[in-house]
Amino acid sequence: MAYIAQTLRREVTERARGRCEYCLTALAVVVEMEIDHVVPEAAGGATNADNLCLTCVGCNGFKLAFQTGIDPETGEHVPLFNPRAERWEDHFGWSEDGTLVLGLTPVGRRSAVGVRYDQARPPMRWPTAAPTNRRAACRYRAPLVARP
Ligand SMILES: [Zn+2]
């Protein structure tokens, strides 16, 4: 794992306004945040601001080093959400009660980080787990205070 200088961590955190760039959870309501390589180091991703994002531990644990996943509605391989190249609003939305992140596109459905299509499945299997919930709603309870 690459060393990420404090100045670069601060830059990434400030750019994200202290929120996970995958689920929008605020730093103020989680124990800790991590810095994620959008394109994993193993795939040649650089350790610079253009390839880093702020992520909560939950989202980072689900994403791991994956760049693609299977859209639960179509079964197609799709890229995961790239917060450096795409807008969150283009792929995700909120449930009516404002507690769930919903995937609106194939990328969003696959990337709704924190998605646990089947709570019994261990998180490590998330990126390739067969979908059991076609609604593709993120079961992560996004805190209301983190909504934009
Ligand atoms: Zn998150």
**For the segment 20-72, what is each residue's pLDDT rounded down to a tens digit?**
998 888 888 777 899 999 999 999 999 999 999 999 888 888 887 888 888 87
Residue 10's pLDDT is: 96
Range of the domain at 37: 6-137
Q: How far apart are CA 90 and CA 109, in angstroms?
A: 12
Predicted confidence (pLDDT) per residue in 88-143, tens digit: 999 988 888 877 788 899 888 887 644 443 333 333 333 333 333 333 334 444 44
65 lies in some domain = yes
Tell me if 143 is assigned to some domain.
Answer: no
Distance (Å, rounded) from C-alpha 59 to C-alpha 70?
Answer: 17
Residue at 142 is within a domain: no
Cα of 127 vs centre of ligand 1, distance in Å, is 15
Q: Is residue 1 part of a domain?
A: no
Q: What pLDDT shows up at residue 131?
A: 33
Ion ligand 1: protein residues whose beta carbon lies under 5 Å = 20, 22-23, 25, 56, 59
Instruction: Kindly state whether residue 96 falls inside one of the protein's structural domains.
Output: yes
If you measure from the C-alpha of residue 146 to the centroid of ligand 1, how many angstroms do you get, rounded to a whole number? 11
Please tell me the total count of domains within the chain: 1
